[in-house]
Amino acid sequence: MTLSIGLDFGTTNTVATMVNADGDVEAVHFDHAGEVFDAFRSVLCFSETDDDAGRRTHVDAGPWAIDKFVELAGDCRFIQSFKTFAASALFTDTQIYSRRLKFEDLLASFLRQVRTRSGTEFPKRVVIGRPVTFAGASPNEVLARTRYETALRALGFDEIHHVYEPVAAAYYFAQRLNADATILVADFGGGTSDFSVVKFVVGESGLDYEPLAHTGVGVAGDAFDYRIIDHVVAHAFGKGSEFMSWGKTLQVPNSYFTKFSRWNELSMMRHSRDYRELQDLVRSSLDPDRIRAFLSFLDADAGYAMYRAVSAAKMQLSNADEGVLSLHVAGVHIEHTIKRSEFEEWIKPELNEIDACVDRALRKANVVEGGIDRVFLTGGSSFVPAVRAQFESRFGAAKIETGDQLVSIAYGLSLIGKERDISRWAV
pTM of the model: 0.86
Least confident of 83-87, 134-138, 371-375: 134-138
Question: What is the structure's pLDDT at 162?
Answer: 97
Decide the pairing of beta strands 35-37 and 193-203: unpaired
Question: What is the structure's pLDDT at 220?
Answer: 85
Nearest to 84 by CA among 162, 173, 176, 10: 10
418-426 long-range Cβ contacts below 8 angstroms, 24+ apart: 418/1, 418/4, 418/19, 418/23, 422/127, 422/161, 423/161, 424/209, 425/161, 425/163, 425/167, 425/168, 425/171, 425/209, 426/127, 426/161, 426/162, 426/163
Higher pLDDT, 337 or 218: 337
Distance (Å, whole) CA 313 – CA 320: 10
CB 44 within 8 A of CB 59: yes
Residue 78, H or E segment: strand 77-80
Q: What is the DSSP letter of 233?
A: I
Distance (Å, whole) CA 282 – CA 277: 9
Distance (Å, whole) CA 362 – CA 127: 27
Residue 51 confidence (pLDDT) above 80: no
Find residue 218's DSSP bridge partners. Answer: none
Of the pLDDT bands very low, low, confident and very high (cuts 50, 70, 90), residue 191 is confident
Q: What is the DSSP letter of 402?
A: E
Distance (Å, whole) CA 172 – CA 408: 6
Question: What is the structure's pLDDT at 2?
Answer: 64
Contacts for 177 with CB less than 8 Å, ≥ 6 apart: 200, 202, 207
- What tens digit of pLDDT does each residue of 220-251 get? 888 999 999 999 999 999 999 999 999 999 99
Query: Looking at 114-260, which runs of residues are DSSP E strands?
Result: 125-130, 159-164, 181-188, 193-203, 206-217, 242-245, 248-251
Of the pLDDT bands very low, low, confident and very high (cuts 50, 70, 90), residue 98 is confident
Handedness of CA 97, 98, 103, 106 (dihedral sign): negative
Residue 48, H or E segment: strand 43-51
- What tens digit of pLDDT does each residue of 2-14 get? 689 999 999 889 9
Question: What is the structure's pLDDT at 266?
Answer: 74
Q: What is the DSSP letter of 253?
A: P
Q: How many other CB atoms are there within 10 angstroms of residue 396's CB atom?
A: 13
Question: What is the structure's pLDDT at 336?
Answer: 95
Delineate the domains of the chain, giving CATH numbers in brackets: 4-163 (3.30.420.40)
Question: What is the structure's pLDDT at 1?
Answer: 58
Query: Looking at 131-192, which runs of residues are DSSP E strands?
Result: 159-164, 181-188
Distance (Å, whole) CA 129 – CA 9: 7
Of the pLDDT bands very low, low, confident and very high (cuts 50, 70, 90), residue 113 is very high
Average pLDDT over residues 64-85: 88
The distance of Cα 16 from the centroid of its chain, to the nearest Å, equals: 15
Average pLDDT over residues 68-96: 89
Dihedrals phi, psi of 122, to nearest 5 degrees: -85, 145
Average pLDDT over residues 160-189: 93
What burial letters (b/e) apply to 44-68, b meaning 16+ CB within 10 Å? bbbbeeeeeeeeeeebbbbbbbbeb
Higher pLDDT, 84 or 403: 84
Higher pLDDT, 239 or 135: 239
